[in-house]
Amino acid sequence: MDNINVPYRMQTNGKLLNELPIEYLNRIDRILISIDGNKEKTDSNRGEGTYNLVMKNVSLIREKGYIGEIIARMTIDLKSPDIYEQVLHLISIGFSSIHWQIDAGFYAYDYDKKKFSIFLKGYNASITKLVDFWVKDMQNKRVLKLYPFIGIVDSLLKNEKSLLRCGAGHSGYAIRTDGKIVACPIMTWIEDFFSGDLNSNPEDLKVFPIAERCINCEVNHICGGRCLYWSHLRLWPEEGDQLICKTIKHLIYELKNKVPEIKELIQKGIISSKNFEYEKYFGPEIIP
């Protein structure tokens, strides 16, 4: 960091954050910290004591004078469709920026139709409650940075079409330690996704189009295709992937239904359309 003057963002489990001197911390504008909700949930996913340690370090860096954005980065596992309760907990302990991703479709061995269908029902119901809460909360003249919500609503307000929302393979790339450039940081070993190397002109990096399965989808201009890794590897059977898409469509339609109310709040000056703008491609995938 002493020698490379670039904008810094960080994704971390938060366990060693206390070790970083404040002059380095404050060069990192945004820090994504893994925390999955309340103590019980976080510790059951990440080990006993994780929640307290992460929260202690979050308080500590704020006390030291960290002024950047701290984003809670949640993993939603199939045992916990209660996104509403978990997000509300994170808000109650001080987070106002939150992102989540559903742990689904990333491994070949873990598809279970019955389990995922039960999750889907609970998760979608919980998303409906969370969207209601989020829009009601705007009466307090604030827009909580729930990244999946602000990303989608920002596009709906601007009538903007989106490519893959994490930026993988069109606007965001990863550099391997050998200098090769790949479309996504979790696909570093997949040669089909090599996009260039450190000698490449950034404008010549290989660009990857939307996945075939998404071409005729009615929400593809808002969804963008969820995840390059997921759509390329197709680790779950098609019926499982379609169930994942049901969570995405539900989320998009619930937010779409709220757009007239949100526009009214903007017109009345209670909130601003600027409240939905965010830095793209630094970490949150937007589509969970």
Nearer to ligand SF4, 181 or 287 (CB): 287
124 lies in the binding site for ligand SF4 (CB under 6 A) = no
b/e string for 31-57 if b means 16 or more Cβ within 10 A? bbbbbbbbbebbbbbbeeebbebbbeb
Stretch that binds ligand SF4, among 17-25, 46-54, 184-192, 243-251 (CB under 6 A): 243-251
Q: How far is the CB of 246 from ligand SF4 (least distance, A)?
A: 8
248 lies in the binding site for ligand SF4 (CB under 6 A) = yes
234 lies in the binding site for ligand SF4 (CB under 6 A) = no
**Alpha carbon distance 95, 51 (integer Å):** 14
Long-range contacts of 130-139 (CB under 8 A, 24+ apart): 130/83, 130/84, 130/87, 131/254, 131/255, 131/258, 133/84, 133/88, 135/258, 135/261, 135/262, 138/262, 138/265, 138/270, 138/271, 139/265, 139/270
Q: How far is the CB of 11 from ligand SF4 (least distance, A)?
A: 23
Nearer to ligand SF4, 180 or 250 (CB): 250
Choosing from 226, 229, 232, 243, the residue that interacts with ligand SF4 (CB under 6 A) is: 226
245 lies in the binding site for ligand SF4 (CB under 6 A) = yes
233 lies in the binding site for ligand SF4 (CB under 6 A) = no
| CA–centroid distance for 288 within its chain | 6
Q: How far is the CB of 234 from ligand SF4 (least distance, A)?
A: 12
Q: How far is the CB of 263 from ligand SF4 (least distance, A)?
A: 24
**Alpha carbon distance 125, 82 (integer Å):** 9
* Site for ligand SF4, residues 155 to 214, rule: CB under 6 A: 213-214
Q: Contact at 8 Å (CB) between 282 and 145? A: no
223 lies in the binding site for ligand SF4 (CB under 6 A) = yes
* Site for ligand SF4, residues 69 to 108, rule: CB under 6 A: none
Q: Contact at 8 Å (CB) between 174 and 164? A: no
250 lies in the binding site for ligand SF4 (CB under 6 A) = no
Stretch that binds ligand SF4, among 25-33, 75-83, 143-151, 241-249 (CB under 6 A): 241-249
The H or E element spanning position 102 is strand 97-102
* 203 to 222: interface string for ligand SF4, x by CB under 6 A: ----------xx--x-xx--
Handedness of CA 262, 266, 269, 272 (dihedral sign): positive
- Show the tokens assigned to 175: 């550099």
Nearer to ligand SF4, 253 or 278 (CB): 253
Number of residues binding to ligand SF4, judged by CB under 6 A:
11
**Alpha carbon distance 155, 20 (integer Å):** 36
249 lies in the binding site for ligand SF4 (CB under 6 A) = yes
Residues that bind ligand SF4 (CB under 6 A): 213-214, 217, 219-220, 223, 225-226, 245, 248-249
